[in-house]
Amino acid sequence: MNLLRRDAEAFCRALAGALDAPPAADVVLFPSATLIQAAARELKGSGVAVGGQDIHPAASGAHTGDLSGVQLADAGCGWVLCGHSERRQDHGEDDALVGRKARAATEHSLLPVICLGESLEERRGGHAFEVMRRQLVAALAEKPPAYEIAYEPVWAIGTGETASPEIAQEAHAFLRRELSGLAGEERAASTRILYGGSANPGNVKDLIAQPDIDGFLVGGASLDSEKFLAIINVCADAAR
């Protein structure tokens, strides 16, 4: 819930002007709903995509305050986040709802980024893998035909705790093994698993070097165009 239209437009112009078209790494912005159309307009032709921060499972109806996949696509989105940790915490979204949202996204030609991860209490209690397995199974229960996964260690966001590259890799490797059992080895190998635990220019190089970390779901660092560009360039170098 950041930026006003003029700020978002300036940010998008700076980003598009600093990147090759298309960028060497896939880049997607997930602005607030009021900024989607402005971002899509400024980024047209740049190769940078736009996504929604949330989606309602229904295509239309009496769901005041929500956005459907039809509306997101109409506004210029090609992607959407499903089950972000802040949606789970602030709005009580459960695992089954996240699965329905992921399925709805694909029905409207949006690529869902399914977010999952454990809290500090769950990690300290030794339940991290149990939580991730439960969330992944529920997210795929509706059998969305396409998706990406984002691992958000909630305990490493704004808590002073740190997820080392080794800890992050352990979680990503676990998710890929689980995905292999749920969707097959080919799907598991081709699905990108992004890291979303306070990624910043100082840690992304070591993180992207891990074999099962394929990119980043960037939080606060994405509000600074120079920091965001630095992260994008690290990913681009890794992809070459």
Q: Where are the beta strands (DSSP E) in 18-161?
A: 28-29, 49-52, 79-82, 111-116, 148-151
Q: Which of 93, 152, 172, 178 is catalytic?
A: 152
Q: Is 122 a catalytic residue?
A: no
User: Exposed e or buried b for every residue in 152-177, given b needs 16+ CB within 10 A?
Assistant: bbbbbbeeebebebebbbbbbebbbe
Contact 191, 179 (CB under 8 A): yes
Cα distances from 147 to residues 9, 43, 86, 105, in angstroms, run: 28, 23, 20, 9
Q: Is 93 a catalytic residue?
A: no
Contact 235, 25 (CB under 8 A): yes
Q: List CB contacts of 188: < 8 A, sequence separation 6 or more.
A: 176, 177, 179, 180
Q: Which of 84, 93, 122, 148 is catalytic?
A: 84
Residues with catalytic annotation? Answer: 84, 152
